[in-house]
Structure 1
């Protein structure tokens, strides 16, 4: 059995805990290990916060006022994707693959979210879609509680 869901959310701060609670509830019901659930929920929170803060032009009032969260729990892996309609990410200071992203300086007010996602997930992919925003996707191998609904072991 697998579970997937997709949310279309307004770019408002209140949408971030909503997405996090839905993910945590889904994973708890499915029987995912609480430590794995927590890591993924923090990573999701960071990705959603990026979409809310940077995901569009608030002056347009069009599609840039929303973002999408999709989660897939399938067997041994959970994959989460957060897509916005903003300008995309600026040029990165470090690679997502082959090592962690460089941390921003101590005085920086932002820039730590992607670094945190990279530490919490097994694989992270950031994709810019010119004129259509950015997509942050990440996955993690799941561990299951005894008697879990989706346990594949």
Structure 2
């Protein structure tokens, strides 16, 4: 089974639960194990929250008031990308990463790394902005609702 969707969202706090609910609904319908769905929804929420907080004012020429969420469920893997048009972000050097437990910023990215199997964080090539992409191998419920409908 292959499912793909993309959202163009305003950089507003209310957009974060919208993206999360859409992902959870898609995964529930496809029959993804609830624990996997929950992990990915928390990681997505963190990535979206970062885009809302930090994702504006970039050089990309697009609207700094928006960001994009794209999700791919393909076979045994889910890949999620959150792209903003902010000033860009490059992961700090290994001496500064991960952030200390009492740091005010950066813990959400560490949480994404804990919940996903593979994470890439970096600047959009040539455009400014940040792309946070992560994937996770999927597990399935025994009786997915999409197959019984």
User: Which protein has the bigger helix share?
Assistant: 2
Runs of 4+ in 1 over 6 A off after TM superposition: none
Matched, 1:105 2:100: yes
Which of 97, 106, 109 is matched with 1:114 structurally?
109
Contact map agreement 1:75 1:150 (CA 8 A) in 2 = no
Note the residue ranges of structure 2 that are not aligned, 5 or more in a row: none
Root mean square deviation of aligned Cα: 2.1
Question: What are the equivalent positions in structure 2 for 1:60-139 lying under 5 Å apart?
Answer: 63-94=63-94, 102-129=97-124, 130-139=126-135
Contact map agreement 1:80 1:137 (CA 8 A) in 2 = yes
Task: Give the drift of 1:65.
Answer: 0.5
Task: Give the drift of 1:150.
Answer: 7.4
Note the residue ranges of structure 1 that are not aligned, 5 or more in a row: 96-100
Looking at structure 1, the residues matched to 40 and 85 of structure 2 have their Cα atoms a distance apart, in angstroms, of 23
Task: Give the drift of 1:111.
Answer: 1.1
- The normalised TM-score by structure 1 is 0.85
Task: Give the drift of 1:90.
Answer: 4.5
